[in-house]
Amino acid sequence: MPIVVQKYGGTSVSTVESREAIARNVIKAKEAGNSVLVVVSAMGRNGAPYATDTLIGLFNDVSKEENLRDLDLLMSCGETISATIMSQTIRNYGYKTMALTGFQAGIQTDERFGDANVKHVDTKRLLHLLDEDYILVVTGFQGITKAGDVTTLGRGGSDNTAALLGAALNADAVEIYTDVDGVMTADPRVVEHAKLINQISYEEIYQMAIDGAKVVDHKAVDVAKRSGVVLKVKNTFSDSQGTTIMSDSLLPPLKKDWSNVVTAVAAKKDVLQVTVFVDNHSALNEALLDGLEKEQISIDLINFLAEKKVFTIFEKDERRLKKLLDNLKLEYSILESCAKVTVIGYRIHGVPGVMKRIVLSLAKANVNILQSSDSSNTISVLVSQSDVDKTMKTLHSAFNLD
Ligand code: ADP
Ligand code: MG
């Protein structure tokens, strides 16, 4: 029997009604002749009683120091609750179901608590249970180390679980169900005219995910691409056909004109622009680079000039960066509350007119570009965080995506 993996995110599992909608979807796939494995996230978003952020808060209230191992054990509980409740909801319709944790589903990871990498999926038990006609409901976002400690896979980890299980089980499709119609030309909560993208290449959606479109996790896209499994993004609550993610070789030929080269706009908030005044030949330059690596501070939008180094970091790394710069007695300045807005288009690089549209449209909208950068599939601008929504809307219409 063909195997279908369906993943449901936090809002999809959060209420009785939404779980009934999931049960209907799952049963439909089962009745169509598929073996069905469901992956679930924790219920709801921050503030909901069993949401991951709520559990983290509970822990932080009592913990005086970081203990990532114990925190992972607690964080994994949100999905365990979802899986058992979802399994029972489907069972009420007369189907054989079973809830499984990441460990019970055979997902083995390394020891990187909080951001673990999956090393191996043992599918023996899953395949046996699917053969026995069970609908399986597996906790997303988690696995277990060789030593038997529970680990979590980082933000977006449930998407990753679904893609990994889909790949390991050689599934016909991995369907990511969420609370919007699929992958859109921008976050529909920011850009109201955002449109559904019916088909998109792995490269573009990967880039969108990296640049802030959180609708699907970039690691999941990577797993799907490498294993060749078809990935779909759909709405739990509507019949919209959703987005199919596929190899770029199956998509229409390359576009070559600024008016249709951009596929989507995405944004990342809570960014700081850092300028460090250090000369290329100074020993401090090397010490700075060593320190960034040692502190695991990842830098972006990097402009290394002869006499100064300009780059961005995320707000969460600010304290560690300042400590590093102060220890090295470096002269620096920091511009807080910035956001990086990116236009994404497959092979956008070198298409004449794209940068011109960005600069002119933003100037007209009174948005100040603080910095810019490009890659083969993207052009990014750094703007003040207060301008982020305006920037997204402006670029979205400048490239005819409305
Ligand atoms: P889930 O809990 O189902 O995993 P997420 O919150 O992780 O859901 O992702 C879905 C959200 O992603 C949507 O509600 C939407 O606001 C946001 N989003 C950001 N960019 C996009 C985009 N380009 N297309 C669709 N949704 C997007
Ligand atoms: Mg998500």
Report the DSSP pairing between strands 97-100 and 230-235. Answer: unpaired
| Ligand 1 pocket residue status of 401, Cβ below 6 Å | no
User: What are the residue ranges of helices labelled H in 118-275?
Assistant: 124-131, 157-168, 202-210, 218-227
Residue among 104, 97, 224, 213 at smallest CA distance from 159: 224
- The answer on pLDDT for 254 being more than 80 is no
CA distance 10 to 19: 11
Cβ-based burial of 285 (10 A; exposed 0-12, middle 13-18, buried ≥19):
middle
The listed range with the strongest mean pLDDT (58-67, 130-139, 346-355) is 130-139
How many angstroms separate the alpha carbon of residue 235 from the centre of ligand 2? 12
Which pTM does this prediction carry?
Answer: 0.93
- The answer on pLDDT for 256 being more than 80 is no
What whole-number percentage of the chain has pLDDT above 70? 99
> With helix as H, strand as E and coil as C, how does 333-386 read?
EEEEEEEEEEEECCCCCCCCCHHHHHHHHHHHCCCCCCEEEEECCEEEEEEEHH
Work out whether the CA dihedral 345, 351, 353, 355 comes out positive or negative.
Answer: positive
User: Which of 176, 187, 262, 388 for mutating ligand 1's site (highest number of atoms within 8 Å of CB)?
Assistant: 187
How many angstroms separate the alpha carbon of residue 343 from the centre of ligand 1? 17
Looking at residue 36, its pLDDT comes to: 98
Looking at residue 100, its pLDDT comes to: 98
How many angstroms separate the alpha carbon of residue 101 from the centre of ligand 2? 19
Looking at residue 155, its pLDDT comes to: 87
How many angstroms separate the alpha carbon of residue 180 from the centre of ligand 2? 11
Average model confidence (pLDDT) for the chain?
95
Looking at residue 143, its pLDDT comes to: 98
Nearest CA to ligand 1 atom 5: 215
Spatial strand order in the sheet of 118-121 = 118-121, 107-109, 142-144, 150-152
pLDDT tens by residue, 54-65: 999 999 999 888
pLDDT-derived band at 260, boundaries 50, 70, 90: confident
Token reading at 175: 């369907």
DSSP 184: B
Token reading at 183: 């992958």
| Ligand 1 pocket residue status of 178, Cβ below 6 Å | yes
Looking at residue 341, its pLDDT comes to: 98
pLDDT tens by residue, 74-115: 999 999 999 999 999 999 999 999 999 999 999 999 999 999
- Which atom of ligand 1 has the smallest separation from the CA of 10? 2
- The answer on pLDDT for 157 being more than 90 is yes
Among all bound ligands, the one having the nearest atom to the CA of 220 is: 2
Looking at residue 401, its pLDDT comes to: 94
How many angstroms separate the alpha carbon of residue 194 from the centre of ligand 1? 12
CB-CB contact of 168 with 121 (8 Å): yes
CB-CB contact of 184 with 235 (8 Å): no
What average pLDDT score do residues 3-25 get? 97
How many angstroms separate the alpha carbon of residue 391 from the centre of ligand 2? 24
What average pLDDT score do residues 18-25 get? 97
Question: Which range, of 137-151, 191-205, 248-262, 319-333, averages the lowest pLDDT?
Answer: 248-262
- The answer on pLDDT for 257 being more than 90 is no
- Which atom of ligand 1 has the smallest separation from the CA of 8? 3
User: Which of 214, 234, 237, 342 for mutating ligand 1's site (highest number of atoms within 8 Å of CB)?
Assistant: 214
Length of the chain as a residue count:
402
Nearest CA to ligand 1 atom 9: 215
CA distance 151 to 25: 29
pLDDT tens by residue, 223-248: 999 999 999 999 999 999 999 998 87
| Ligand 1 pocket residue status of 80, Cβ below 6 Å | no
Looking at residue 255, its pLDDT comes to: 63
pLDDT tens by residue, 181-227: 999 999 999 999 999 999 999 999 999 999 999 999 999 999 999 99
pLDDT-derived band at 349, boundaries 50, 70, 90: confident
Looking at residue 248, its pLDDT comes to: 76
